[in-house]
Structure 1
């Protein structure tokens, strides 16, 4: 560097040093910069964490808003093919829920009624068979277990049978028959001993329907059958549990148990269906008979 330039440089440095000496001392910037960097890094982490929480919360909230989210009462179920009218009365014969199938007891037609049913159109036979399936399952629920497993008889829409594990078989008659008679109930006899050791009870079903239940000796002097009868609209209704004559066993159901079964709304639904869609021939009253 030339001497003149070197001298000018020294003068400039001297002037700068004097100027700096008049200023207060500078702080150490390194610790402050490190602290500021740590704070920024912490704030960045908090922001990231908050974002993750928000996203997770949005996912959970969205899942809760979807149908069937995490609770047994709100399980997602497939939509049905059609929505029934709110004013449409349920059909007890054609329900959506599958019921256990009871293999019918097959009989060879021996009476005119059985032969007539064997000759029915296929659609009508299927309708009656479906009714019998529903009736068999329901009677199995309403009657005591001692009656056994109840199965329909295939060529007699009124007939069923209860089969116990020890081999007893109880014939069951469930009849809803159109009738011109004014009443399907038989009054209990007033004379003492008229039933010869049997019994008669009266009961009232829903809607004020009067019903009569008999428990009487049947078949032999050792076995008894139990039945209940009443009128429903244009039909006479009867439910009878007969004895097992071979096993010499009485019907294992009391009059009160049979009246309780007849009071059940599901049983009356079946009666209503059979009254509106008859499956038996009309019973006509005979003058003077």
Structure 2
């Protein structure tokens, strides 16, 4: 700091520097968001980070003439941008934290795996999974845990809680192929609730008026349920589902109403729109059940 600076400006500059150093010290260190112990605090840290950044900006504007540009980013890792020739599934302008994928080996020689894809297509699908995992982590209830992609298939994810519970998550946008739209989905609740055999259904619509039905159904055990919502979008069938943890005998910690709120979110529909325009799954050859 120059010795020729007037005393009043010298004091102001020291004040700004001290405030900024204090703000930066409150930010969490960069790390890979793998340990389940970070699950419960991730949204709180994000709110603190935004508040600190806003406070720094106000302090700088109050004591320094002109503009001060601060470096951006939260240190959580940068997601590679999508190719400029295709619609981007980006949901935020901020760099998103990288989620280390869960590795799952194929269970048979006939099962396809992302590892067998051409490098460019595998990179595209992995990028989509990263964006989807971060968004689902924000939109789904905290009880589902930290959302990570599964490296076996683009539609597979899982949530893991701090207590070690693991919930399977599906986000699928599959081309409908030749399946008639009128028979592709159970997008309305059944007239006879008894047909759900102890489950329940909640009716809703997307912002464009598309009908959608969210189901909470038994998963083979009378006290264990999963939650699923399906709807037709463009030339595809979209599905979002959360499945129970069979080892912990824990039902999916999501209600039908909460899933409806997720699929109505503009950012979620942006992901679905990208996947519909740039398919990553094989076309359907049979009708999906309602």
- Normalising TM by the smaller chain, what interval? 0.5 to 0.7
Contact residue 234 and residue 275 of structure 1 kept, 8 A: yes
Match of 1:185 in 2: 185
CA distance in 2, matches of 1:238, 1:113: 24
Could you tell me the TM-score, scaled by structure 1's length? 0.67
2:156 corresponds to which of 154, 159, 178: 159
Q: Any idea what the Cα deviations from partners look like across 1:5-53, whole Å, max 9, x if unmatched?
A: xxxxxxxxxxxxxxxxxxxxxxxxxxxxxxxxxxxxxxxxxxxxxxxxx
Name 2:274's counterpart in structure 1: 273
Q: For 1:130, what is the secondary structure of its paired residue? A: helix
After TM superposition, the score normalised by the length of structure 2 is: 0.67
1:76 aligned to 69, 78, 81, which one? 69
**Equivalents in 2 of 1:127, 1:112: separation in Å?**
24
Q: Aligned residue for 2:133?
A: 136
In the alignment, the residues of structure 2 paired with residue 134 and residue 171 of structure 1 have an alpha-carbon distance, to the nearest angstrom, of 17
CA distance in 2, matches of 1:221, 1:163: 23
Return the alpha-carbon distance in structure 1 between the equivalents of residues 162 and 217 of structure 2. Answer: 25
Counting only pairs closer than 5 Å after superposition, residues 83-122 of structure 1 correspond to structure 2 as 91-93=88-90, 96-111=93-108, 114-122=111-119
Given that 1:228 and 1:238 are in contact with CA atoms closer than 8 Å, whether structure 2 keeps it comes out as yes
Q: How far apart are the structure 1 equivalents of 2:227 and 2:137?
A: 16
Q: Give the structure 2 partner of residue 123 of structure 1.
A: 120
Instruction: Name structure 1 gaps, 5 residues minimum.
Output: 1-67, 79-87
Shift, 1:135, TM fit:
0.4
Pairwise CA RMSD: 2.8
Measure, in 2, the Cα distance between the counterparts of 1:103 and 1:192.
41
Compute the displacement of 1:157 (Å).
0.6
SS of the counterpart of 1:194? helix
SS across alignment from 1:200: strand
Contact 2:140 2:262 in 1 (8 A): yes
Cα distance in 1 for partners of 2:211, 2:108 equals 32
| 8 Å Cα contact 2:135/2:268 also seen in 1 | yes
For residues 155 and 256 of structure 2, the distance between their equivalents in structure 1, rounded to whole angstroms, comes to: 20
Shift of 1:126: 0.9
Q: Which of 134, 138, 145 does residue 148 from structure 1 map onto?
A: 145
Cα distance, 1:92 vs. partner?
Answer: 2.3
Matched with 1:17 is none
Q: Which runs of 5+ in 2 are unaligned?
A: 1-57, 72-84
- Looking at structure 2, the residues matched to 233 and 110 of structure 1 have their Cα atoms a distance apart, in angstroms, of 32
**1:217 and 1:285, CA in 2 relative to 1: closer, same or farther beyond 3 A?**
closer
Tell me whether 1:197 sits opposite 2:174 in the alignment.
no
Q: How big is the shift at 1:222?
A: 1.6
Secondary structure of 1:208 counterpart? coil
Which fold has the larger relative contact order, with Cα–Cα distance below 8 Å and residues 6 or more apart in sequence?
A: 2
Three-state SS of the structure 1 residue aligned to 2:284 is coil
Once residues 280 and 109 of structure 2 are traced to their aligned partners in structure 1, the CA distance between those partners, rounded to angstroms, is 15
Q: What does residue 222 of structure 1 align with?
A: 223
Distance 1:113 1:98, change over 3 A: farther
Q: How many residues were matched structurally?
A: 212
Q: Which has the larger radius of gyration?
A: 1
SS at match of 1:218: strand
Q: How many angstroms does 1:155 deviate by?
A: 1.6
